[in-house]
Amino acid sequence: NAQTETALNIQAPTDQIVSKHIYGHFSEHLGRCIYDGFWVDENSAIPNKGRIRLDVVDALKKIKVPNLRWPGGCFADEYHWRDGIGPRNERPKMVNTNWGGVVEDNSFGTHEFLELCKMLDCEPYIAGNVGSGTVEEMAKWVEYLNFDGTSPMTAIRKQNGMDKPWKVSFWGVGNESWGCGGNMTPEYYSDLYRRYATYARDYEGAPLKRIASGANSEDYKWTETCMKNIGAGRMWGLTLHYYTLPTGNWKTKGSATKFDEEQYFNTMKNCLRMEEIVTKHAAIMDKYDPKKKVALVVDEWGIWTDVEPGTNPGFLYQQNSLRDALIAGTTLNIFNNHSDRVRMANLAQTVNVLQALILTEKDKMLLTPTYHVFDLYKVHMDAKYLPIKFTSPDYTVGNNKIAALNVSASQDSTGAIHISLVNLDPKNKISINTSLGDLKWKTVTGQILTSANVTDINTFDNSNKIHNAKFSGAKKSGNNLKVELPAQSVVVLELK
């Protein structure tokens, strides 16, 4: 176990805030995320409130989920919201064409989603249907949700038991309009956005934060066209989707649990591409919006592997290893460090789908390594950003190398400083000597997430194999902080 050394220099606090909405999540009508994840059968013995699973809600409340995106994803552009309101036994059944061709019974709709958000104490982020829906349909949904007066939609809402509007604010105008959301060109989408966004009205006390459907990974032309043709004044945010594929190949993406060091290295290399992708999209946005009014909303990110053997390929169910946790820690550090522009993000997806926080099996539930990273990083939410300068040691495999270390830091309203550090190198620890400048502090404590192997996972039989533990590898030396950062670990320090 060799050791490399580096120095971190934490700069003075800025006015920049790490928005809590960077720590958002995403729940689509896909596989077992909503049905069999959040939502249980009518007479289920699993503890629930109005069919919403309570162990899942309790776990998510602990990490302070700030916002939840719904109903998709690709599903959003085939979702017709009026199918999901009113008496459940009268709701039409439809086919979920995107995800496995299964029956969607519409038992989980607008009221149920907003009840879930209330239970989680988080903000809803609804994606409206542009691909196969009409302008009128979207306009009426917003009226149903947000208008506090007399109108046909509010009459129906009241009939359905909701007297007062919910006042939803985050509003997606389509999803992946370049792909499953309609296979559009950016020019055509920009025009459609302007039209749909016009009639998605701001009602009194309920201004919308309209979010345009943005680029797929390195599609810089999409961002350029939207910024130019829609214009910064017409949107609150513009999205970006980027998934980490272990092999870089959509046909054979690679296993979630069985991979060698070369594949681990390639996965982390692909994960680190988020830095370049965000930087380049942000630079284009700067050209049209130098005051950074429009948020870059990375509302789909995470690792996408092959499904677990024997499961429905349309359900995107994958296990979650220590590798996933290192991806989460690294990506959240990238977002924190770009928090001048990245002001919202949503991991795909919350329960039983892709890089999930939670896996369920009948009445059993487990928290994945990724969940534990969100638990560690919640200290950054709405804290003041602290820039850091440093040079990372290399993590080398054969002739290839990537940065072994990534970090971010913030200072919360009580003055406590939090530094999150990720060591991607599975063999070598890193010795870090950190200058804190003029920042005053007396004590350091910390927590660590690591395990013997990057392939280690939590299972329903051993659900606590990977969990956060006390970290004692950080010491004060004058005003400097010395850290021995173990191989393949995520550490969050608190300096007070």
Question: Which residues are the active-site residues?
Answer: 176, 300
What phi, psi does 127 have (nearest 5°)? -100, 115
Among 13, 66, 72, 186, binds ligand AHR (CB under 6 A): 72
The answer, yes or no, to whether the previous bond of 73 is cis (omega within 30 of 0) is: yes
Q: Work out how close the CB of 94 gets to ligand AHR at its nearest, in angstroms, rounded to a whole number.
A: 16
Task: Give CB contacts under 8 A, 24+ apart, made by 305-312.
Answer: 305/245, 305/246, 305/253, 305/254, 305/255, 305/256, 306/252, 306/253, 306/254, 306/255, 306/256, 308/256, 312/31, 312/100
Q: How many binding residues for ligand AHR (CB under 6 A)?
A: 10
Write the DSSP assignment of 434-477 as a string of letters.
Answer: EE-TT-----EEEEEE--S-TT-B--SSSTTSS--EE---EEEE
Which among 415, 420, 419, 471 is positioned nearest to 438, based on CA atoms? Answer: 415
Find residue 396's DSSP bridge partners.
401
Q: Which stretch binds ligand AHR (CB under 6 A): 46-54, 88-96, 222-230, 346-354?
A: 346-354
Q: Which stretch binds ligand AHR (CB under 6 A): 48-56, 114-122, 348-356, 450-458?
A: 348-356
SS3 219: coil
Helices (H), 289-337: 322-337
* Rounded-to-integer distance, Cα 350 and Cα 374, Å: 12
Q: Which residues of 33-137 form beta strands (DSSP E)? A: 48-49, 52-53, 67-70, 94-96, 102-104, 123-128
Site for ligand AHR in 23-42 (CB under 6 A): 28
Q: Closer to ligand AHR at the Cβ: 196 or 301?
A: 301
Q: Does 375 bind ligand AHR (CB under 6 A)?
A: no
Write the DSSP assignment of 388-415 as a string of letters.
Answer: EEE-PPEEEETTEEEESEEEEEEE-TTS
Q: Closer to ligand AHR at the Cβ: 123 or 300?
A: 300
Which amino acid, one-letter code, is at 471?
F
Find residue 388's DSSP bridge partners.
10
Q: Work out how close the CB of 242 gets to ligand AHR at its nearest, in angstroms, rounded to a whole number.
A: 11
Q: Work out how close the CB of 16 gets to ligand AHR at its nearest, in angstroms, rounded to a whole number.
A: 29
Q: Does 74 bind ligand AHR (CB under 6 A)?
A: yes
Among 13, 31, 66, 73, binds ligand AHR (CB under 6 A): 73
Q: Does 328 bind ligand AHR (CB under 6 A)?
A: no
Q: Closer to ligand AHR at the Cβ: 30 or 334?
A: 30
Q: Does 468 bind ligand AHR (CB under 6 A)?
A: no
Q: Closer to ligand AHR at the Cβ: 75 or 259?
A: 75
SS3 493: strand
Q: Work out how close the CB of 379 gets to ligand AHR at its nearest, in angstroms, rounded to a whole number.
A: 27
Among 348, 365, 405, 457, binds ligand AHR (CB under 6 A): 348
Residue at shortest CB range from ligand AHR: 73
* Cα angle 479-485-486, degrees, rounded to a multiple of 5: 160
Site for ligand AHR in 139-168 (CB under 6 A): none
Site for ligand AHR in 256-315 (CB under 6 A): 300
Q: Work out how close the CB of 411 gets to ligand AHR at its nearest, in angstroms, rounded to a whole number.
A: 34
Q: Closer to ligand AHR at the Cβ: 60 or 354?
A: 354
Contact, 125 vs 343, CB < 8 A? Answer: no
Q: Which stretch binds ligand AHR (CB under 6 A): 71-79, 111-119, 141-149, 364-372?
A: 71-79
Q: Closer to ligand AHR at the Cβ: 97 or 247?
A: 97
Q: Which stretch binds ligand AHR (CB under 6 A): 13-21, 69-77, 441-449, 456-464?
A: 69-77
Q: Which stretch binds ligand AHR (CB under 6 A): 68-76, 194-202, 368-376, 433-441?
A: 68-76
Q: Closer to ligand AHR at the Cβ: 70 or 265?
A: 70
| Token pair of 85 as six digits | 């309101």
Q: Closer to ligand AHR at the Cβ: 154 or 346?
A: 346
Q: Does 456 bind ligand AHR (CB under 6 A)?
A: no
Rounded CA Rg of the chain: 22
Q: Which helix (H) or strand (E) holds 214?
A: strand 209-216
Burial of 172 (0-12, 13-18, 19+ CB in 10 A): buried
Q: Work out how close the CB of 483 gets to ligand AHR at its nearest, in angstroms, rounded to a whole number.
A: 35
Other CB atoms closer than 10 Å to residue 243's CB: what's the count?
20
Which among 117, 350, 352, 76 is positioned nearest to 239, based on CA atoms? Answer: 76
Q: Closer to ligand AHR at the Cβ: 72 or 369?
A: 72
Q: Which stretch binds ligand AHR (CB under 6 A): 66-74, 83-91, 201-209, 272-280?
A: 66-74
SS3 366: strand
Among 36, 123, 143, 176, binds ligand AHR (CB under 6 A): 176
Contact, 243 vs 348, CB < 8 A? Answer: yes
Query: Residue holding tokens 């025009």?
Result: 191
Contacts to ligand AHR by CB under 6 A: 28, 72-74, 175-176, 300, 348-349, 354
